[in-house]
Structures are given as C-alpha cells and as structure tokens.
Amino acid sequence: MKVTHIDLGIMNYRDAWQKQGSLMEKLKKEKSEGKEGLNYLLFVEHPHVYTLGKNGNQANLLINTVQLATDSVEFIKVDRGGDITYHGPGQLVVYPIFCLNDFRTGVKEYVRRLEEVVIRTIAGYGLRGERLEKATGVWLDVNKSGVRKICAIGVRCSQSITMHGFALNVNTDLNYFNFINPCGFVDKGVTSMAKETGKTINIDEVKSFVLQYFKEIFAIEFIAANALNTIDSLLKM
C-alpha cells in the first residue's frame, strides 16, 4: 500500500488539526466515488498545548486559564478518543490518515498496530514498551508500582478513515504533565525516551525508526512529500 509521508516540522495544533480533517474528508470523498484515494502519514511537533478528547473530563486540567496564558500554553477540546494529554517541543506526534479497509483491519487492531510501531521503535534504545490492559498507549514497567506512559494514543475513525494518532515523548519537557491528570490517570506516571536513557535523543533518528516499523507492520511503500505546502497542493487535486 502506497502512503504519502509528510513531515510538517513544527506547527501549531489547530493548523495541523485542520489539515488532518481536510485530508480525511478528501479521502472519504475519493472512497465514496470508488476511487483508490491517497493515504497519508503526518509527522509534526507542536508548541505547548493541552488537548481534551471528546469524552474527556475537563477536571483533569489542573490549572486555570490565567495560568495557561501565563505559561503560553493552549487548551483545546478535540474530536479524538481519550482524555487529556499534552503536546510540546521534543515530542514526536504522528497522524495517520488511513483508510482501514485498505489495510484490512478494524479500529481495535489498528490501535494495536500503532502501539507495536512504538514498542519496536523504543526497543532500539533499550526500552521495553508494553501494553496496559484497558488503557491505550505504550507503557514501561507494567504491573509494577512505577508504571509510566511513554506514548499516548487517541484516534478518530469515520467511514473507516482515521485521523489523530500517537504522541511519543522523545525529549519532551515532562514538567508540563504536572498540570494535568494525563489521560485521566491519577496513579500512573509519564516518562520520555530522554529521561529513561539519560541522554538527549536524536528525534530525526526516531522518525526514521517509526517509518521503518510502519513499513513493516502496515506493509507500506512511502511516497515522501516534505514541503510545507504539500498538503494544500494535494487538497487541490
């Protein structure tokens, strides 16, 4: 399956969300017209932002709007699953705009495949990622008192087309998680690849691993398209 890969660099959350939605609607329209359509994989880093899923509890945001403004952090309610999470510099955010029918999978298996991409990626840095029962994402030290999340996952699926995806903490400033109950949990920690390894991680290297494992797990052939204006060009096709 051919997939267009676009690295958006650093982009604010609302703009990336809008571009995801536009690509999703484009793919839905193409499929409804019986066309093959294009699948996409977007990479991005966001400036500081807290996002709350459609079924999330705003009480899990532990600071008020004045404090948010003081720290230059946005708070946005979004249309994905899951509760509250943080995005910021040093975090690799991955948004697949996939038609699940093309990959012969359903939502549950799709999420497991996303988890597997991350598990294999961090294994290359000596980290053992695991799944936690009744909780999406990738975790370390499951079933131990120090269980902590290294990657959050939240997706939306409409007419078998996905958007949103996962956020892998690479060199993320974890202090921002102190102001939320991450994913609604009050008894579990958050970590990053940098914290676990004790060194700054080359995020471009991490991106290359993520692409490699998407290729293997989803049987993908990537078409690279890294220019920032690529999405706008694609939407005119």
| Amino acid at residue number 110 | Y
- E-strand ranges in the chain read 2-10, 39-45, 49-52, 74-77, 84-87, 91-97, 130-132, 135-140, 148-158, 161-169, 189-190, 221-224
Q: Judge contact between 57 and 184, C-beta under 8 A.
A: yes
Place of tokens 């997939």: 3
For residue 12, with 0-12 CB atoms within 10 Å meaning exposed, 13-18 middle and 19 or more buried, which class applies? Answer: middle
Evaluate the CA torsion angle 78, 84, 86, 87 in order and state its sign. negative
Annotated active-site positions, please?
A: 183
